[in-house]
Structure 1
Amino acid sequence: MSHRFTTAASFQPPAPGPQEARPSPATAGLVVADGDVSAPGALRVLLVEDDAGDALLVEDTLADTGLEVSLHWVRSLAQAEGPLTAEPAPDCVLLDLHLGPEQGLEVLERVLEWAPGSAVVVLTGLAEAQAGIAAVAAGAQDYLSKGRLEPDRLGRAIRYAVQRRQVQEAVAALQAEQMRAAENERLEHGLLPTPRVSDPRLGVVARYRPGRAHSLLGGDFYDVVETADGLVHAVIGDVAGHGPGSAALGVALRVAWRAFVLAGTRGPRLVELLEELLLSEHDGTEMFVTLTTVTLSPDRPVARVVRAGHPGFLVHAPGDVRLVEPPGGLGVGMAPGLESWHEQQVPLPPGHGLVLFTDGLFEGEIDAEGQRLDMTGLLRIARHHHDLGPDGFVDALIADVEAASLRHGGLADDVAVIHLGWNTR
């Protein structure tokens, strides 16, 4: 058995105020004056009790439980604040709800506020069963009557309270993780929608792979939509950073892009409107977005392209793959109000496909010295698969990039890829 009252460094209470009596002679010998005497693995128990006789009763009963405990006693809620807010917090708090002027569930609420991870066992009087039940309903793990304090009952209450609190925290963490996963799923659906295209002559392949360098969803987004005039419009973009803020901004920009396109906005003006939206949505932090927009016509063998800070793209033709980097402007939000974008025309005969992607596809490290794949390496990989159809080409491209990065942990960033073009038949 290892049991002691202690004023360990991590449990040091504030000095008693002028109205707070120091320990009575009956219990003064139970308090260690200095130093941390907690044995490794001992349960850290804080007793908050203003009655010295009751404190001695708890100490004597606890000594007979067989628990390995480091017990620290304070007489008031004010003295309890230090130990409760310290690191590490107590494993268990034995709490009297009647501390002079401080009474009832307000005492419990303050303890739970200061040490939300600590288990709390409320100590009540003989006729206070209802108060104990109310305390459990308010967040305590258990209650005990001081008039019926027995070693077995006290030891069991402390052990179960600590275990119950650990289970509650684990369940809460699981629920939070499930909520984050559900929110990420909703954000991902907003970032990566199903293409809205009805023309059977257009082939569209879209893929997304999450990166391994972060557990949060990034801001990569894409969309493809056909308008009533028969034109097909596509966008691919990347919001700087990761996490809910970047993802939410990506969703807002993607939805706004689709709305602007369906309303008839085209070319550079579309990018200008997206920048206006970005400036109105950001929270004061610097934020920018790179993106490429494309417009295809079923009657013309060209793609009209606007690039805003985004990487170039591949043209996948039968028997060949080439890299195309038409002139472009800065990313959206990099120079608000100062940048102007221009539309470029890129030849796209039937049977050719544009392969748009985010920078995660070529920025991964491929050796121990930190060398990146870069565009040259990506083009080399792409040319190995030039004879494949759109689906096979995109899947093989991503798989080879991922394999090249696996020796260094896999894809370092999220990857979004779109392959689109007019079929020959």
Structure 2
Amino acid sequence: MTTAVTGVPQAASDDPTYRILLIEDDLGDALLVEELLHDTGLRFTLTTRTTLAEARAELAGSPLDCVLLDLHLPDVSGIDAVTAVRRLAPHTAVIVLTGLSEDRAGTDAMAAGAQDYLVKGKVEADLLQRTLRYAVYRSQTERASAEAQAIRLRAEENARLERGLLPQPILDTSTVRVTSRYLPGAEMALLGGDFLDVVEGDDGLLHAVVGDVSGHGPDAAALGVCLRIAWRSLVLGGHRGDDLLHLMERILVAERGSQHLFATCTLLTLDQHAGTATLHLAGHHEPLLTTTEGTWELTAAHGIALGIVPEIRSWPSTVIPLPAAGALTLYTDGLTEGHNGTQSDRLGVEGLLALIVKLPTADPAAHVDLLIRETHALNAGRHTDDLAVLRLDWDGLPLRTG
């Protein structure tokens, strides 16, 4: 076992340094490969191992650009050797080293996933240089293509989930302006179990929901979609308040199966004629009210989250008088549970309110986008919960006196 590092004088300063692992049990052949690498003029680091077992740590952990693989190792040989290396280092270029008498070994190895092959005794420095450069380039291209495909598939999955979690509002006569945003907790992640919706009922009232299913991943997302669709169907069917929440809880318990998932949500009914908002909180936090005087968190009675103790069925209502013009913002805790620019302090509602004061409020959509961007900047990637934000803006509600 040897490790060698070289810096080649004739290589350009911006040339890459190739990280190479040689798996070769013949010390003479290993020395020859090392000498040829020096003659290529490439910058490289070389680690040599004599068996696949010895090479496992490097294959599984160390970042590598290329593996030079002898097909006849003491513990594995032939196509099995290529398959084992590709399994341990799927994004690393593999060049196999074959003997003079092995006519089909090289092509069979490429069919098994190797980028190229070289015949021992027929390798010169120029050939090794070209082969290594091309193999690494091809491997990097394949990896980039695979990543692009994964991103495309993830985008398609998110698009399908988004149609379920972020539906188009159903607004007939209402003049309330609706702004909604939904972001996964991590880059390239699937949407999670947060959900929101807005519909206008046949009674002329505007109904809204924001909710959050516990957990992450496809199971939480599927349950979030289910609850969102159930909420819309039940509201349009005339169910309201604690009756609506009871039916949603029954659906949650039936759909979650053996998983101990639960959901929090805020239900809001906005009566534009009466100038009031009625809240039902099921384990969720209060919305924010914005007026010309500022933004603050509303005070409302709390009920239990859905699915925690289904027998309780306790979701008291709170009626909030509304100003003639203003906005209500409902959100999931992904907006407040991130860090407040430090490692230890959470942003929380107080931090969120302090941040809102500094932001321009003229355009609701721009305000929500800027608020999300600022909370993400403060958090700096330390918290990875999904977030959903729903803002309702109105103007011209009845003036309330007394």
Query: Normalized against structure 1, the TM-score is what?
Result: 0.69
Aligned 8 A contact 2:329 2:392 in 1: yes
The residue aligned with 2:178 is: 205
Out of 381, 384, 392, the residue aligned to residue 419 of structure 1 is: 392
* Structure 2 residue identity aligned to 1:378: L
Between stretches 297-306 and 143-152, larger displacement belongs to 297-306
Aligned 8 A contact 2:330 2:390 in 1: yes
Gaps in structure 1 of 5+ consecutive residues: 1-6, 9-35
1:195-274 correspondence to structure 2 within 5 Å: 195-199=169-173, 201-208=174-181, 210=183, 214-215=186-187, 216=189, 217=191, 219-228=193-202, 230-240=204-214, 246-274=220-248
The residue aligned with 2:12 is: none
The residue aligned with 1:44 is: 20
1:150-169 correspondence to structure 2 within 5 Å: 150-169=124-143
Q: What secondary structure, in the 3-state scheme, does the structure 2 residue paired with 1:148 have?
A: coil
Query: Residues 303, 95 of structure 1: CA spacing in aligned structure 2 closer, same or farther, 3 A cutoff?
Result: same
* Structure 2 residue identity aligned to 1:265: H
- For the pair shown, the structure with the greater C-alpha radius of gyration is 1
Query: Residues 208, 135 of structure 1: CA spacing in aligned structure 2 closer, same or farther, 3 A cutoff?
Result: same
Counterpart-to-counterpart distance in 1, 2:84 and 2:132: 20
Counterpart-to-counterpart distance in 1, 2:126 and 2:365: 67
Aligned 8 A contact 1:323 1:379 in 2: no
* Structure 2 residue identity aligned to 1:208: R
Q: What secondary structure, in the 3-state scheme, does the structure 1 residue paired with 2:94 have?
A: strand
Q: Give the total of aligned pairs.
A: 377
Aligned 8 A contact 1:221 1:416 in 2: no
Residue 398 of structure 1: how far off its partner (Å): 6.8
Query: Residues 407, 258 of structure 1: CA spacing in aligned structure 2 closer, same or farther, 3 A cutoff?
Result: closer
The residue aligned with 1:355 is: 328
Query: Residues 178, 383 of structure 1: CA spacing in aligned structure 2 closer, same or farther, 3 A cutoff?
Result: closer
Aligned 8 A contact 2:67 2:93 in 1: yes
The residue aligned with 1:378 is: 353
Query: Residues 382, 401 of structure 1: CA spacing in aligned structure 2 closer, same or farther, 3 A cutoff?
Result: farther
Residue 165 of structure 1: how far off its partner (Å): 2.3
Query: Residues 110, 258 of structure 1: CA spacing in aligned structure 2 closer, same or farther, 3 A cutoff?
Result: same
Q: What secondary structure, in the 3-state scheme, does the structure 1 residue paired with 2:210 have?
A: strand
Query: Residues 379, 261 of structure 1: CA spacing in aligned structure 2 closer, same or farther, 3 A cutoff?
Result: farther
Counterpart-to-counterpart distance in 1, 2:151 and 2:91: 18
1:339 aligns with 2:312: yes
Q: What secondary structure, in the 3-state scheme, does the structure 2 residue paired with 1:265 have?
A: coil
1:81 aligns with 2:57: no
Q: Deviations over 1:300-327 (max 9, x none)?
A: 5544432112222345567787753231
Q: Deviations over 1:59-96 (max 9, x none)?
A: 4355234255635353xxxx313313443276533335
Query: Residues 384, 46 of structure 1: CA spacing in aligned structure 2 closer, same or farther, 3 A cutoff?
Result: closer
Aligned 8 A contact 1:296 1:303 in 2: yes
The residue aligned with 2:35 is: 63
Q: Deviations over 1:344-401 (max 9, x none)?
A: 252557945661322455666667694846359739957999xx8xx74675477578
The residue aligned with 2:91 is: 117
Residue 268 of structure 1: how far off its partner (Å): 1.6
Counterpart-to-counterpart distance in 2, 1:207 and 1:94: 53
Counterpart-to-counterpart distance in 2, 1:148 and 1:98: 18
Counterpart-to-counterpart distance in 2, 1:101 and 1:315: 69
Counterpart-to-counterpart distance in 2, 1:367 and 1:411: 10
Counterpart-to-counterpart distance in 2, 1:292 and 1:61: 68
Aligned 8 A contact 1:85 1:115 in 2: no
1:272-311 correspondence to structure 2 within 5 Å: 272-282=246-256, 287-296=261-270, 301-311=275-285
The root-mean-square deviation of aligned C-alpha atoms, in Å, is 4.5
Residue 195 of structure 1: how far off its partner (Å): 0.6
Counterpart-to-counterpart distance in 1, 2:49 and 2:382: 53
Q: What secondary structure, in the 3-state scheme, does the structure 2 residue paired with 1:175 have?
A: helix
Aligned 8 A contact 2:340 2:347 in 1: yes
The residue aligned with 1:95 is: 69
Out of 154, 162, 183, the residue aligned to residue 180 of structure 1 is: 154
Counterpart-to-counterpart distance in 2, 1:384 and 1:60: 66
Matched-pair identity in %: 34
Residue 231 of structure 1: how far off its partner (Å): 4.3
